[in-house]
Amino acid sequence: MITTETEGKLSWFIACKTEDVPVNGGVCVKYEDRQIALFHFARRGAWYATQNECPHRNQMALSRGMIGSLDTEPKVACPFHKKTFSLETGECLNGDDYQIKTYPVKVMNGLVYIGVDGE
Amino acid sequence: MMKIVIIGNGMVGFKFCEKLVAKAPKDSFEITVFGEEIRPAYDRVHLSEFFSGKTADDLTLAPADWYAANDIQLYLGDPVKEIDREQKKVYSIRGLSVSYDILVLATGSSAFVPPIPGVEKNGVFIYRTIEDLEMMRDWAKKTKKGAVIGGGLLGLEAAKAMIDLGITDTHVIEFAPRLMPRQIDEAGSVILKNKLESLGLKILTNTNTTAIQGEDSIKSMLFADQSSIDVDMLVISAGIKPRDELAKQAGLETGSRGGIVVNEQMQTNDKSIFAIGECALYKGMIYGLVAPGYEMAEVVADHLVGGQKTFHGFDMSTKLKLIGVDVASFGDPFVAAGDGRTVVLEDTMKGIYKRINISTDGKYLLGGILIGDADAYNMLLQTAKNKVILPPNPEDMILGARGGESSGGDSVSALPDDAIICSCESVTKENICKSVTENNCESVDEIKKCTKAGTGCGGCVPMVKDLMLHTMAANGKYVRNVICEHFHYSRQELFDLVKINQLKSYDEVLDTFGKNDGCEICKPVVSSILASLWNELILDKGNAAAQDSNDRFLANIQKGGTYSVVPRIPGGEITPDKLIVIGQVAKEYHLYTKITGGQRIDLFGAHLSDLPAIWKKLIEAGFESGHAYGKALRTVKSCVGSTWCRFGLHDSVSFAIQIEERYRGLRAPHKIKSGVSGCIRECAEARSKDFGIIATEKGWNLYVCGNGGSKPQHALLFATDLDSETCIRYIDRFLMFYIKTADPLMRTAPWLNKMEGGITYLQNVIINDSLGIVAELEREMQLLVDSYKCEWKEVVDNPELQKKFSHFVNAPEEKDPSVKFEAMREQKKVADWK
Ligand code: SRM
Ligand SMILES: Cc1cc2nc3c(=O)[nH]c(=O)nc-3n(C[C@H](O)[C@H](O)[C@H](O)COP(=O)(O)OP(=O)(O)OC[C@H]3O[C@@H](n4cnc5c(N)ncnc54)[C@H](O)[C@@H]3O)c2cc1C
Ligand code: SF4
Ligand code: FES
- Per-residue pLDDT of B452-475, as tens digits, reads 888 777 777 778 888 888 888 777
Find the mean pLDDT for residues B311-337: 80
Task: Say yes or no for a CB contact (<8 Å) between B545 and A67.
Answer: yes
Find the mean pLDDT for residues B40-67: 90
Find the mean pLDDT for residues B359-372: 88
Q: What is the pLDDT of residue B464?
A: 86
Cα distance from B595 to chain A (closest Cα, Å)?
A: 23
Higher pLDDT, B302 or B375: B302
Chain A residue numbers with beta carbons less than 8 Å from the beta carbon of B561 are 59-61
Range with the poorest average pLDDT among B298-302, B489-493, B654-658, B673-677: B489-493
Q: What is the pLDDT of residue B543?
A: 82
Measured in whole angstroms, how far is the alpha carbon of residue B404 from the centre of its chain? 38
Q: What is the pLDDT of residue B537?
A: 85
Q: Is the pLDDT of residue B407 over 70?
A: no
Range with the poorest average pLDDT among A103-107, B39-43, B199-203: B199-203
What are the beta bridge partners of residue A103? A49
Burial of residue A99 (number of CB atoms within 10 Å: 0-12, 13-18, 19+)? middle
Burial of residue B811 (number of CB atoms within 10 Å: 0-12, 13-18, 19+)? middle
Higher pLDDT, B161 or B106: B106
Which residue has its alpha carbon closest to ligand 1 atom 2? B596
Which residue has its alpha carbon closest to ligand 4 atom 4? A81
Most confident range (mean pLDDT) of B97-106, B186-195, B819-828 is B97-106
Q: What is the pLDDT of residue B384?
A: 86
Q: Is A81 on the interface with B (CB under 8 A)?
A: no
Dihedral angle of Cα B659, B660, B664, B669, to the nearest 10 degrees: 80
The enclosing H or E element of A73 equals: strand A73-77
Higher pLDDT, B407 or B563: B563
Going from the C-alpha of A104 to that of each of A2, A13, A46, A91, B358, the distances in angstroms are 17, 11, 11, 16, 78
Q: Is the pLDDT of residue B208 over 70?
A: yes
The enclosing H or E element of B556 equals: strand B556-557
What are the beta bridge partners of residue B495? none
User: Pocket of ligand 2, candidates B19, B37, B100, B107: which has the most ligand atoms within 8 Å of its Cβ, to mutate?
Assistant: B107
Q: Is B822 on the interface with A (CB under 8 A)?
A: no
Q: Is the pLDDT of residue B398 over 90?
A: no
Q: What is the pLDDT of residue A96?
A: 77
Q: Quick check: B422 and B456 in contact, CB under 8 A?
A: yes
Cα distance from B343 to chain A (closest Cα, Å)?
A: 57
Q: What is the pLDDT of residue A53?
A: 96
Range with the poorest average pLDDT among A87-101, B83-97, B414-428: B414-428
Q: What is the pLDDT of residue B478?
A: 60
Range with the poorest average pLDDT among A72-76, B47-51, B682-686: B47-51
Q: What angle do CA B692, B695, B697 make, to 5 degrees?
A: 150
What are the beta bridge partners of residue A34? A31
Q: What is the pLDDT of residue B403?
A: 39
Residue of A nearest to B805 (CA): A27
- Per-residue pLDDT of A41-89, as tens digits, reads 999 999 999 999 999 989 999 999 999 999 899 999 999 988 999 999 9
Query: Where do the domains of chain B lie, and which CATH numbers do they carry?
Result: 2-110+242-304 (3.50.50.60), 113-238 (3.50.50.60), 491-547 (no CATH), 551-630 (3.90.480.10), 633-786 (3.30.413.10)
Q: Secondary structure of B71-136 in the HEC alphabet?
A: CEEEECCCCEEEEECCCCEEEECCCCEEECCEEEECCCEEECCCCCCCCCCECEEECCCHHHHHHH
Q: pLDDT band for A6, please (50, 70, 90 cuts).
A: low
Q: What is the mean pLDDT of chain B?
A: 90
Q: What is the pLDDT of residue B834?
A: 64
Q: Is the pLDDT of residue A5 over 80?
A: no
CA of A78 to the centre of ligand 4 (A): 6
Q: Is the pLDDT of residue B338 over 80?
A: no
Q: What are phi and psi of B130, to 5 degrees?
A: -60, -40
Q: pLDDT band for B326, please (50, 70, 90 cuts).
A: confident
Q: What is the pLDDT of residue B404?
A: 36
Find the mean pLDDT for residues B794-816: 91
- Per-residue pLDDT of B74-105, as tens digits, reads 999 999 999 999 999 999 999 999 999 999 99
Residue of A nearest to B550 (CA): A79
Percent above pLDDT 70 for chain B: 97
Pairwise CA distance, residues B48 & B295, whole Å: 24
Q: Is B475 on the interface with A (CB under 8 A)?
A: no
Going from the C-alpha of B831 to that of each of B206, B607, B611, the distances in angstroms are 80, 15, 21
Q: Is A93 on the interface with B (CB under 8 A)?
A: no
Q: Which of A25, A38, A74 is the closest to B517 by Cβ? A: A74
Find the mean pLDDT for residues B216-241: 94
Q: What are phi and psi of A30, to 5 degrees?
A: -95, 130
Q: What is this model's ipTM?
A: 0.71
Q: pLDDT band for B387, please (50, 70, 90 cuts).
A: confident
Q: pLDDT band for B411, please (50, 70, 90 cuts).
A: low
Task: Say yes or no for a CB contact (<8 Å) between B809 and A41.
Answer: no
Q: pLDDT band for B199, please (50, 70, 90 cuts).
A: confident
Count of CB atoms within 10 A of residue A119's CB? 5
CA of B676 to the centre of ligand 1 (A): 19
- Per-residue pLDDT of B747-787, as tens digits, reads 999 899 888 788 988 999 999 898 889 999 999 999 999 99
User: Any residues with Cβ below 6 Å from ligand 1, and which?
Assistant: B 556, 558, 564, 566, 594, 596-598, 600, 602, 628, 634-635, 671, 673, 707-710, 747
Q: Quick check: B345 and B354 in contact, CB under 8 A?
A: yes
Q: Is the pLDDT of residue B572 over 90?
A: yes
Range with the poorest average pLDDT among B203-207, B382-386, B725-729: B382-386
Q: Is the pLDDT of residue B408 over 80?
A: no
Q: What is the pLDDT of residue B566?
A: 97
Give the residue among B29, B53, B56 at the shortest CA–CA distance from B40.
B56
Q: Is the pLDDT of residue B499 over 60?
A: yes
Which residues, 6+ apart, have CB-to-CB distance to B538 below 8 Å? B527, B530, B531, B544, B547, B551, B667, B791
- The CB-based long-range contact list for B206-211 (8 Å cut-off, 24+ gap) reads B206/B174, B206/B175, B206/B176, B206/B177, B207/B173, B207/B174, B207/B175, B208/B175, B209/B114, B209/B116, B209/B149, B209/B173, B210/B116, B210/B117, B211/B116, B211/B117, B211/B118
* Sign of the alpha-carbon dihedral angle for B228, B234, B240, B242: positive
Q: pLDDT band for B142, please (50, 70, 90 cuts).
A: confident
Task: Say yes or no for a CB contact (<8 Å) between A69 and B550.
Answer: no
Find the mean pLDDT for residues B181-201: 87
Query: Where do the domains of chain A lie, and which CATH numbers do they carry?
Result: 2-116 (2.102.10.10)
Give the residue among B367, B320, B373 at the shortest CA–CA distance from B347.
B373
